[in-house]
Amino acid sequence: MDGAHTDRGAFDTFCQNNADWLDDYALFMACKGVYKDAVWVHWDPGLRQRNSAALKEWQNKLSSETAIHKFAQFEFFRQWEKLRTHCSRRGISIMGDIPIYVAHDSADVWARPELFRLDEQGKPNAVAGVPPDYFSATGQLWGNPLYRWDVSAMSGHRWWIDRVRASLKLFDLVRLDHFRGFEAYWEIPASASTAAGGKWVKGPGAEFFQTLQTELNELPFVAENLGVITPEVEALRKQFGFSGMSLLQFAFGTDPQGPTFRPHAYSHDLVAYTGGHDNDTTVGWWTSSGVGESTRTAEDIRNERDFARAYLGFQNEPVNWVFIRTVLASVANIAIIPLQDALSLGSDARMNLPGTVSGNWRWRYKPKALTKEISEQLRRLTLLYDR
């Protein structure tokens, strides 16, 4: 009984301490169950518009269901804290991620619609994405609702401050997704079928990060500064001392940033990757034709491989281990190796293909795949390059 009493007390404390987001989230998820997962804009008007009487009615009606969702969050956070403590005791830091945008069909947008570019029915009137790039000739149409940065600023960016503070409780270091969107973002009409017809619109810029810094003091961010990066974007990153990112896969092709992704041009304030979650695995990238997965032509790919061989000085060695050695040997303060590259896996282990809506994020590590031989190779390189 004592254990059950302790758990109940811990659960009640968790609910009280996280009420600012947990109450809305739990009610949102419970209502999703009632409406068979329908998007919230199709719910009853009172609930959709968050009428206070309607909210109270639904909270009372779904009290058991909301309690279940709250308890699931309680258990996750309790288990995560045990994991983080375990890692911390062993000198292991955890790096997380803050996506710049959130899904339209989310508790965030339903609970705070005034912060987003929505019409009277609650549907987005402008959405996020990026212009034509390496991955797609028509750009990437993400479809997330854009922010009303003027409204956010009026509240002192309180929603963002709470969001970042929550992430910093979970992680030691945070990758700030699509950093360039805070300087300028690609605005696409909600009715568009591709991202090609969008336009650049100025973001909140330095004022936003200054507000975060004043409120939170330390901002242990890694800025995801990939894509169409301008001098203004890099100036913003350096103004606040955020680390940048460098992907070795992008160093040898036609990417405008290519020259800065070559290790001889690295600076210390970088996180160097062989490839990221949007890239193919290194083995897959090296052996693929590029058809259907990027805008590279056959000639582009031949030139890219020839340049990579010449630059990295290898012939028949496994390309993934050449890449791993290269980023570990670089001057970048942090080097990150996707597990798929350490395991020498091909395109079937790719995590995500930008611009597609299905078949992604399905790869899973299989027990014992990380063999003693692979572990020893990683250990040797880690020690060799003082990592």
Provide the residue-wise pLDDT of the chain in tens; the chain has 387 residues.
Answer: 455 666 899 999 999 999 999 999 999 999 999 999 999 999 999 999 999 999 999 999 999 999 999 999 999 999 999 999 999 999 999 999 999 999 999 999 999 999 999 999 999 999 999 998 777 788 899 999 999 999 999 999 999 999 999 999 999 999 999 999 999 999 999 999 999 999 999 999 999 999 999 999 999 999 999 988 999 999 999 999 999 999 999 999 988 889 999 999 999 999 999 999 999 999 999 998 876 666 778 888 899 999 999 999 999 899 999 999 999 999 999 999 999 999 999 999 999 988 787 899 999 999 999 999 999 999 999 999 999
Plot region of 332 (φ>0 → left; ψ -120 to 50 → alpha; else → beta): beta
What is the Cβ-side half-sphere exposure of residue 20, based on CA atoms within 13 angstroms? 9
Q: Is the Cβ–Cβ distance between 84 and 170 less than 8 Å?
A: yes
Q: Which amino acid is at 329?
A: A
Q: Is the Cβ–Cβ distance between 220 and 242 less than 8 Å?
A: no
Q: Is the Cβ–Cβ distance between 28 and 41 less than 8 Å?
A: no
Residue 369, pLDDT score: 96
Backbone angles phi, psi at 62, to 5 degrees: -115, 30
pTM higher than 0.75, yes or no?
yes
Quick one: fold of 94-384? TIM Barrel (3.20.20)
Residues annotated catalytic, as ranges: 177, 224, 278
Structural Rg of the chain based on CA atoms: 23
In sequence order, which residues have a C-beta less than 8 Å from that of residue 168 and are 6 or more positions away? 174, 216, 220
Residue 1, pLDDT score: 43
Domain coordinates in residue numbering, the chain: 1-92, 94-384
**Tokens describing residue 220:** 């242990």
